Amino acid sequence: MATLTCLELKLLKHSETCILNGNGYIANAVNIPHKELAARLAELSDAKNSQIVIYCRSGRRAEVAKQVLVKSGFAQLDHLTGDFNEWTSNGLPISTGN
Position 96 in a domain: no
Give the predicted TM-score (pTM) of the model: 0.74
Position 47 in a domain: yes
Position 19 in a domain: yes
60 or 4, higher pLDDT: 60
Position 94 in a domain: no
Position 97 in a domain: no
| Alpha carbon distances (Å) from 86 to 26, 36, 39, 48 | 12, 25, 29, 26
For the stretch 26-85, pLDDT in tens is 877 888 888 888 998 998 888 888 888 888 888 888 888 889 999 999 988 888 888 888
Position 24 in a domain: yes
- Domain count for the chain, please give it: 1
Boundaries of domain holding 57: 4-89
CATH of the domain at 20: 3.40.250.10
The pLDDT assigned to 27 comes to 78
Cβ 95 vs Cβ 24: under 8 Å = yes
